Amino acid sequence: MRLSLPRTPFTLSRALTTLGLAVALFSPAALAVGDPAVLINEPTIKAALDAAKRNEPWTLEEQIRINEIPAPPFKEEVRAREMERLFKELGLKDVRIDKEGNVIGVRPGEKPAPNVVISAHLDTVFPEGTDVTVKREGNILRAPGIVDDTRGLAALLNIIRSLDEGKVRTAGTITFVGTVGEEGLGDLRGVKALFRDTLKDQIDFFISIDGTSINRVTSAGVGSYRYRVTFKGTGGHSYGAFGLANPIHALGRAIDGIAEIQVPRQPKTTFNVGRIGGGTSVNSIAFEAWMEVDMRSETMVALEAVKEQFMTSVNSAVEAENKRWGGRGNLSVELELVGLRPAGETSQQSPIIKATNAAVVALGLQPIHSAGSTDSNVPMNLGVPAVTIGGGGSGFGAHALDEYFDSTDSHLGPQMAILLLAALTK
Ligand SMILES: [Zn+2]
């Protein structure tokens, strides 16, 4: 944390929040950003918006080409190198790949701050070997990953090119990022590294392009805990060794407890035992049984509460099973945290959300807000103003092999991002 050199009111307010001081010290004027309703009529912005529409056929070609470079979980490198090449070709400065694998490129403004990060994720949910060839029928592009999040990556390219063609000059700086590890067990590792190391304390606003429709705005991040729980015992013959504590019976007791957990409806909080396994044969007392459990909530407080109840269920199950058999069988349990996505929310009154809403309205639509699980979870949890927006067009069947993208009016995605960036770097 840079306490000595606050670069913007936002960095300073963050520093003060960390010190436990009131952020209300600042007048609303200090937090002002540009108004998309006004910016849409500025000549350079207008030119950039026109360029975004003109560049959309090229953008779709790039979307197809990038999609056909496979990017399975933890194997985003080839796609990252191609994005690195494109960032350089399109004139970004200081283009690099960080230690975690994120691609970064800078479009400098007059000043280094405010620094607005706009990103899309490189990884897909699809394993190596999945056919990612794109089939195109008019406006419809079919392929796994074509929406989530190749559309986001393609939108970034359109934005970079269109800002340049419009000769847009900004006071603040824009940093373009392709993140790794957004999906599943990637566990947001790319964006976590960005805030922890690569751009630590240098991000004033964070925008993720994930999804399509521009009126769908994600301003809250659903947090989650994922655990793999393994019950272990001595194991033995079901008849000959009868009387040992049984890992599968303990698993059953734990699931019984979890099934009775009470959660609030608001904030929406959920739990699920998603997979179970264990045992070797019908006539053996198992030496091992396991389950995978997912818990989610819109707030960290509720998420911690459901996790507490889950832990209690697991520990009580071990205790009860050991007690039942007088401790014979050495029953124990191991908990492995396999996923942690922090929850958070960007206030509806914050400048980034107001500017996002205004940008959607300026393009003739009405924003609809929801909570989601995206790269924005991390900044939202840290108190950095963040939002997840759509990249344009419409998406169907994300995470399924029959995923497809409808490019009707898809230029609206880059246009909305350009308005939002112009407002935040004003
Ligand atoms: Zn995504």
> For the chain, what are the domain ranges?
33-221+343-424, 223-340
CA of 178 to the centre of ligand 1 (A): 12
**How many angstroms is it from 287 CA to the middle of ligand 1?**
39
* Mean pLDDT of all residues in 2-13: 32
Tell me how far the alpha carbon of residue 147 lies from the centroid of ligand 1, in angstroms: 8
CATH 3.20.190.10 matches 33-221+343-424? no
**What is the DSSP annotation of 402-417?**
T-EEE-TTTTHHHHHH
Helix (H), strand (E) counts: the chain: 12, 19
Residue 55 banded pLDDT, cuts 50, 70, 90 = very high
Cα-only R_g, the chain:
24
What is the per-residue pLDDT for 6? 29
Query: To which residue do tokens 């953008």 refer?
Result: 59
Top CATH class, 223-340: alpha beta
CA of 198 to the centre of ligand 1 (A): 21
Pairing status of strand 368-372 against strand 216-221: parallel
Q: What distance in Å separates the CA atoms of residue 2 and residue 15, rounded to the nearest whole number?
A: 8
- Please measure the distance between the N-terminal and C-terminal CA atoms of the chain and give it in whole angstroms: 25
CA of 375 to the centre of ligand 1 (A): 8
Asked whether 273 and 258 are in contact (CB, 8 A), the reply is yes
235: closest CA among 102, 330, 301?
330
Judged by average pLDDT, the poorest of 30-39, 47-56, 189-198 is 30-39
> One fold for both 33-221+343-424 and 223-340?
no
pLDDT per position as a tens digit, 409-422: 999 999 999 999 99
Count of CB atoms situated within 10 Å of the CB of 100: 17
User: How far, in Å, is the centroid of ligand 1 from the Cα of 398?
Assistant: 8
**Dist. CA 123 → ligand 1 center (Å):** 8
> Could you tell me the distance, in angstroms and rounded to a whole number, from the CA of residue 18 to the centre of ligand 1?
30
Distance 88 CA to ligand 1 centre (A): 24
- Token reading at 5: 């050199």
What is the CA(183)–ligand 1 centre distance, in A?
Answer: 7
Q: Give the Cα separation of 48 and 168 in Å (integer).
A: 7
Question: 133-156 pLDDT, tens per residue?
Answer: 999 999 999 999 999 999 999 999
pLDDT at 78 over 80: yes
Mean pLDDT, the chain, as a whole number?
92
User: Is residue 228 within 8 Å of residue 292, measured between CB atoms?
Assistant: yes
Give just the sign of the alpha carbon dihedral 173, 179, 184, 189. negative
Confidence bin at 185 (pLDDT 50/70/90): confident
How far apart (Å, rounded) are the C-alpha atoms in residues 260 and 301? 19
Q: How far is the CA of 341 from the centre of ligand 1 (A)?
A: 14
Contact 34, 426 (CB under 8 A): yes
Q: Which pLDDT tens digit goes with each residue over 367-414?
A: 999 999 999 999 999 999 999 999 999 999 988 999 999 999 999 999
Ligand 1 mean position, distance from CA 406 (Å): 17
DSSP 112: S
Question: Among 19-28, 193-202, 343-352, whose mean pLDDT is lowest?
Answer: 19-28
DSSP run (H or E) holding 107: strand 103-107
**Cα 252 to middle of ligand 1, angstroms:** 35
Q: Which stretches does DSSP call E strand in 281-420?
A: 284-285, 288-297, 332-341, 344-345, 368-372, 386-389, 394-396, 404-406
**How deeply is 207 buried, as exposed, middle or buried, from its count of CB atoms within 10 A (0-12, 13-18, 19+)?**
buried
pLDDT tens string 277-295: 999 999 999 999 999 999 9
| The predicted structure's pLDDT at residue 367 | 96
Calculate how far, in angstroms, residue 149's C-alpha sits from the geometric centre of ligand 1: 5
Residue 228 has pLDDT above 70, yes or no: yes
Q: What are the beta bridge partners of residue 292?
A: 228, 275
List the one residue out of 134, 119, 176, 155 whose CA is nearest residue 411: 155
How much of the chain exceeds pLDDT 70, in percent? 92
pLDDT value of position 10? 36
Query: Is residue 16's pLDDT more than 70?
Result: no
* Cα 36–chain centre separation: 25
CA distance 316 to 329: 17
